[in-house]
Structure 1
Amino acid sequence: MTKKLLILLFFLGSFMMQAQSLAWRTNMTDAIAISNDQKKPMLILFTASGVPENLQNEIFKTPDFAVWSRDNVVLVKLDLSDMNASDSDREQNVKLKNAFGVQDLPEVCFAMASVRKNKTTFSALGKIAYKPGGAKAWIAESNSILHPVE
């Protein structure tokens, strides 16, 4: 009996750990390819060091978000303060931030992208910042952006 309980706890524990480990892409080229392959929009998180952690802690680190994101979006994190990023990547990230009209960090943009003749075209779906209310409210607002009622 004790052995079965330990095995069950082991599997539940590993499931919970897996549910909370999100696969954030940091390379936009890879993210676009995955997004197009999976036919899912990208959730692009624009962030930097020193910005409030509310969005990360109250939304992105929840099991609800892990399940929702796996089924609905390709996660992309663009850290505008990343000193390990190449100059071209940093420049690209700042251009994307400006193109999407991101003012305050952190902020999330939902977008699709297509590449034709080595030219990338983005189709912005909407933006969302942190709002108190928890993961379920944030996910509901995100769903209204991704699946608007016509």
Structure 2
Amino acid sequence: MTRKLLILLFFLVTFLAKSQSLEWKTDMVDAITLSNEERKPLLILFTAANAPENLQNEVFKTLDFEKWSRRNVILVKLDLSDTGISSEVREQNIKLKNAFGVAGLPEVCYAKGSIGNGKTAFSLLGRLPYSSNGVKAFITDSNLILNPE
């Protein structure tokens, strides 16, 4: 009996750990390269250490979002308060935030990117600020941005 319980517990822990394993890119060049290879737009999360975690908890940490994001987007997290990045990268991230018109944090932008002749260019598809409507509404709103038919 104990052995069966331990086996069940092992599988549950493994499943839960796997279900929360989103891969967020932090390097924009790598993200654009992957985006173009997989032909998926970028979901860019602009955030900072002092930003509310509601979006993380209510949307990004759900199984529904994990399934949707794996099929539809390349995830990019730009933490504007990250002290582990160079001042040049931080400045580029802030310029990108301003260019996309992001006012409050956290906020999500959908974009396509390209790199040519050493220059990076973006095409903003849409922005999605935090809303307390939950993951299903977030996915619906995201699909409207990504598929504006």
TM-score (norm 1): 0.92
Q: Mind listing any 5+ residue stretches in structure 1 that lack a counterpart?
A: none
Deviations along 1:104-137, one digit per CA (max 9) or x if unpaired, are 1110000011111111110110000111111011
Q: Distance in 1 between the 2:69 and 2:122 partners?
A: 20
- How many residue pairs are counted as aligned between the two chains? 149
Could you tell me which residue of structure 2 aligns to residue 50 of structure 1? 50
Q: Mind listing any 5+ residue stretches in structure 2 that lack a counterpart?
A: none
Question: Is the partner of 1:18 in helix, strand or coil?
Answer: helix
Deviations along 1:54-113, one digit per CA (max 9) or x if unpaired, are 101111111111111111111100011111110111011001001111011110000011
Shift of 1:5: 7.0
**Is the CA contact (8 Å cut-off) linking 1:47 and 1:79 kept in structure 2?**
yes
**Is the CA contact (8 Å cut-off) linking 1:25 and 1:77 kept in structure 2?**
yes
Shift of 1:32: 0.6
Question: Is the partner of 1:83 in helix, strand or coil?
Answer: coil
Could you tell me which residue of structure 1 aligns to residue 104 of structure 2? 104
Question: Is the partner of 2:71 in helix, strand or coil?
Answer: helix
Identity among equivalent positions (%) equals 62
**Correspondence 1:122-137 to 2 at 5 A:** 122-137=122-137
Deviating 4+ runs (over 3 angstroms): 1-13
**Correspondence 1:1-150 to 2 at 5 A:** 7=7, 10-149=10-149
Question: Is the partner of 2:78 in helix, strand or coil?
Answer: strand
Which one-letter code corresponds to 1:83 in the other structure?
T
Shift of 1:13: 3.7
